[in-house]
Amino acid sequence: MAMIESKENGITILAVDGNLDAEGTQAMEVKVLALLEGGETQLLFDFSSLDYINSSGLRVLVLAYQRLKKASGKVAICGVKDYIQEVFEVSGYDKIFSLFPSRGDAISGM
């Protein structure tokens, strides 16, 4: 798993590549908590190169959503592969997160 952080139009983008297994999820959680502590309120997860996520990974996204909702912030996700999209649908989280096809769509739509 690799994470690349960038910023565009005031939106903090976290591109997560590879597998969000237990180890990767823990690293992402540490990163997300640090971003939230640092006062970021607009978070975009770019999952276009993400191959794997489980319920623990979803939990980190929910954590970000819950924290940012209190701060009138936003969490969005872009570029998910179709089989990962299914996980969002089955969990009902597709109704909570804004899911965008691409990074560009997300930045203009957030």
Partner 1 sequence: METGMAEDFISFRMTNKMNCFKCFHSKVEDFGATHGLSMKIIFHLTLCLDEMITNIISYGYADFDEHPIDVTLVLKDGVLIIRIEDDSEPFNILEAPEPEFDVPLEERKRAIGGMGIHLVKNMVDDINYKREDGKNVLLLTKKICEECCSRG
Interacting residue ranges for partner 1, rule: CB under 8 A? 19, 21-23, 52, 54-56, 58-59, 62-63, 65-66, 69, 81-84, 86-87, 90-92, 96
54 three-class SS: coil
DSSP secondary structure code for residue 80 in this structure: -
Closest contact distance (angstroms) between CB of 83 and partner 1 is 4
Please state, in angstroms and rounded to a whole number, the distance separating the CA atoms of residues 25 and 19.
9
Closest contact distance (angstroms) between CB of 55 and partner 1 is 4
Please state, in angstroms and rounded to a whole number, the distance separating the CA atoms of residues 85 and 32.
21
Closest contact distance (angstroms) between CB of 97 and partner 1 is 11
Q: Rank residues 65 and 98 by Cβ distance to partner 1 and give the closer one.
A: 65
Q: Rank residues 87 and 107 by Cβ distance to partner 1 and give the closer one.
A: 87
Q: Rank residues 7 and 59 by Cβ distance to partner 1 and give the closer one.
A: 59
For residue 88, CA distances in Å to 39, 50, 71 come to: 27, 14, 24
